[in-house]
Amino acid sequence: MFSTTTKLDETCHAQPRPTVLLTCADNIMPLSWHTPISKEPFRYAICVRDENYSHELLLKHREFALNFLDHSFVQAHQITGAIHGRGVNKFKESGLSEKKGANATLIEEAYMIYECCVIDVLNYGDHDVFIADVNLIHNKQNKDVSPTLFMGRGAYETISKNPTQIKR
């Protein structure tokens, strides 16, 4: 039996979402509402609420990075998502290491990083959608990563090490 609602917050909300740490200027914020929107050229969309300091930084600098970190860094996601960054050094708060990329600040501990440039900003509700070109992909080629998935309401998960491989 379904219980039916129009409100996302009234559901169990357990949609595992690959979660990244967005770096813009020298700030960090965790972000789970993001998706690729084009393969060639490689383009990406990220959804950011305007109450977040990162929103202001994205509009100002228009360059950012999406840092994918292993599940073992789950505390850093929780710490950087619990505070707003104006006047706070979230690298210091989280213990993560800052690294200069081509155009954005990167997180050294990430296993993969997209360096992006904003090309459009859309609004269809309470988040703004930043459309971006992914200009560079930095990849440590580490096959043994456990991606960080956010389940909502402070809960995190990762994937099993036994993927179901369908023959093609």
- When the beta carbons of 125 and 163 are compared against ligand FMN, the nearer one is 125
- When the beta carbons of 30 and 67 are compared against ligand FMN, the nearer one is 30
Report the C-alpha gap between 4 and 16 in whole angstroms: 21
Q: Are 33 and 27 in contact (CB under 8 A)?
A: no
Q: Are 61 and 24 in contact (CB under 8 A)?
A: yes
Amino acid type, 148: T
Q: Which residue is nearest to ligand FMN (CB)?
A: 81
What is the nearest approach in angstroms of ligand FMN to the Cβ of residue 168?
33
What is the nearest approach in angstroms of ligand FMN to the Cβ of residue 133?
19
**Contacting residues toward ligand FMN, per CB under 6 A:** 19, 27, 29-33, 47-49, 52-54, 77, 81, 83-85, 127, 150
Contacts of 42 (CB under 8 A, 6+ apart): 36, 133, 134, 137
- When the beta carbons of 54 and 105 are compared against ligand FMN, the nearer one is 54
- When the beta carbons of 85 and 110 are compared against ligand FMN, the nearer one is 85
Q: Are 121 and 45 in contact (CB under 8 A)?
A: no
Contacts of 120 (CB under 8 A, 6+ apart): 130, 131
What is the nearest approach in angstroms of ligand FMN to the Cβ of residue 126?
9
- When the beta carbons of 27 and 115 are compared against ligand FMN, the nearer one is 27
What is the nearest approach in angstroms of ligand FMN to the Cβ of residue 99?
19
